[in-house]
Amino acid sequence: MKEHCFLKSLLSIYLKVASRRRYVLFLDFISLALAVYFGYALRLTFFIEMGYAGELVQTIFIFSACILIPLIWGGVYKVVWPRASVEEYTILLRWYVVGTAIFLVLFKISDELRIPRSSLSILIILGLFFLTTTRAFWKLAFVTRSLRTCEQKRALIIGAGEAATMLARDLIRNDTDLKPIGFVDDKPELNNMLLASLKVLGTTEDIRKIVIAENVTVALIAIPSAPGHKIKEFIGTMDGLNIEVRILPSLLDIADGNVSVKLLRSVKLEDLLRREPVKLDNPEIENLIRGKRVLVTGAGGSIGSEICRQVAAKGPSELLVLGHGEQSIYNLLESFSQSGNKVPIVPIIADIADKVTLESIFKKHMPHLVFHAAAHKHVPLMEDNPREALRVNSFGTRTLAEMAGKYQVERMVMISTDKAVHPSSIMGATKRIAERMLFYVQKRYPDTSYMAVRFGNVLGSRGSVIPKFEQQIERGGPVTVTHKDMKRYFMLIPEAVSLVLQAGTMGSGGELFVLDMGEPVNIAEMAETLIRLHGHEPYRDIKIEFTGIRPGEKLYEELFYDPDHVGTTSSEKIYLSKFSPEKESLLPRVERLLADSAEASLSEAELKAAIFQLGGNGENVAAEPPIRL
């Protein structure tokens, strides 16, 4: 009768386990039954009398119940055992000990459970042996089969932090083309330690030696916080070894903090320009945005779309995404839909220079905050289209700023450019006029805080040289660079936008913030690095041709006009550029220029001269020398 009750109990447990795991539970029951049988058989020299048969069956069911129930409770049957590591076997051991303790307590307090003491110790040891051995054979069979179907590459993991350990576990559990053989780290105290059942083989200074000794074919850089110069060092140590290098994205790109094999990718130029992670003043940014209606212009562009993503993460009550191109706005909406973000989004297709449409938008939605990223940014194209550059970059900004003041927007933050400093291009001059107009409007609407944030090029934008270089490399070259000495400031888009949001919390109105762009990058050297990242040797496999500077371009870009008019802020990566107040004569002059432009009463040459007079060499800037950071 008791045996029947235990059988019924075990059957109930068996049916509660997910169907795909029942065969594991059944196998474990057989293993435990065999452990009990051999415990008795070894004690009785393999001759079990009929008198012991009933006791044997009773012990099998009681012992199995005592072990299997804790294993189920502890989640042992949720583990994918063919891909298990030491950590999962430790969980099995822990819950087996719990089950054994329950069984021993029953043995002590029950008069009916009579087992020879020598059999007791044997069956407990054999039970654990059978449970672990069946899983070990299972894993061995899985690995053998995987190796037959997939030639695994020996991989060295660079880094031994949390991200590296998570990556190692994921590689061990999943059927991939990579076989991790160990770690290296810059901390010598970690040498010979075990992480995820893999050994720390040495420091980062030993990379080359370990790669050669261990026949490594793939290096995995698993330090999301590593700055670009460190990544360059790691790659440099393996120069000439024909090693494939893959990398985990930066901390800014790993939004949820979860690391997996799927995140590994080839090293990009952006990785070599990484800087120390930005320490954002998140509470202030969140206080600025949470519960507010936020309007982002140019929302379909590279900068605008990233502003939308970061703003959405701070909990606005409504996000107004305004763009002139319907496809880019549609793509942005699709990306939000796939990410599962629940922030209410209002798509708006409009031209920021259309005053009537813009006013209807402000009247209807009454935004609290405006981030202005809409602009024409292509330097050579704007040289041929000065009227359009003036209409959008200058007049559009003025119209937007006036609407923000008229409808009591709390803050308006404009994205500016380093090309607005001593501009040599129409694009730069029209953006400089936009800066000046913004601060002129500040005087008319003091209750709205207007500020501009100036920075250089961003990697990954639609106008970046990187996609062009990559296309030229894929075609076999040549890679075209304007001048061997040309330098530009570069920043990653997520970092730039993070700093823009932080700058937006600092200003009280009328500020021009400038982001610390680091050191300027030589474009020719950048092209050489990109060619090497694609596995080629510059000038030998892929040629580099110098085409000459185009109209409007400069060899060097500047971030400030005057070193004596640069202040610091609470962030070490954000500067404050100080300037003289705009004169009252500015607005009539801009109005007249815009009217002349619209009526086409000026020739293109005259229009360009007037644009440079107001934006390039006009009053308030003429005597200010440039400064390079």
Say if residues 424 and 553 touch (Cβ distance below 8 Å). yes
86: containing domain:
2-146
Residues of the chain scoring pLDDT < 50: 1-3, 6-7, 10, 14-15, 17-18, 149, 281, 564, 617-629
For residue 325, is it within any domain?
yes
The type of residue at 31 is: S
Same domain, 592 and 453: yes
Least Cα distance to 34 among 100, 113, 131 occurs for: 131
Same domain, 122 and 209: no
Same domain, 324 and 431: yes
Same domain, 304 and 394: yes
Instruction: Assign residue 318 the CATH number of its domain.
Output: 3.40.50.720
Q: Which residues are catalytic?
A: 419
For residue 75, is it within any domain?
yes
Secondary structure class of 345 (helix, strand, coil): strand
The total number of residues shown for the chain amounts to: 629
For residue 540, is it within any domain?
no
Same domain, 76 and 202: no
Total structural domains in the chain? 3
Report how many helices (DSSP H) and strands (DSSP E) the chain contains, helices first: 22, 22
Least Cα distance to 228 among 276, 265, 280, 278 occurs for: 276
CA angle, residues 491, 494, 500, in degrees to nearest 5: 80
User: Whole-model pTM?
Assistant: 0.65
User: For the chain, what percentages of helix, strand and coil (3-state, to nearest 5) are there?
Assistant: 50, 15, 35
The type of residue at 131 is: L
The residue out of 208, 240, 272 marking a domain boundary is 272
The residue out of 130, 146, 162 marking a domain boundary is 146
* Res 418: pLDDT: 85
The residue out of 230, 247, 272 marking a domain boundary is 272
Same domain, 136 and 159: no
* Res 149: pLDDT: 45
Same domain, 102 and 213: no
Q: Look-up: residue for tokens 């519960």?
A: 291
For residue 531, is it within any domain?
no
Same domain, 389 and 305: yes
Name, in order, each residue with C-beta under 8 angstroms of 304's C-beta and a sequence gap of 6 or more: 296, 297, 298, 321, 323, 371, 373, 374
Distance of CA 321 to the CA centre of its chain: 22
For residue 529, is it within any domain?
no
For residue 579, is it within any domain?
yes
Same domain, 326 and 181: no
Name, in order, each residue with C-beta under 8 angstroms of 306's C-beta and a sequence gap of 6 or more: 493, 494, 496, 497
Same domain, 317 and 250: no
Same domain, 301 and 419: yes
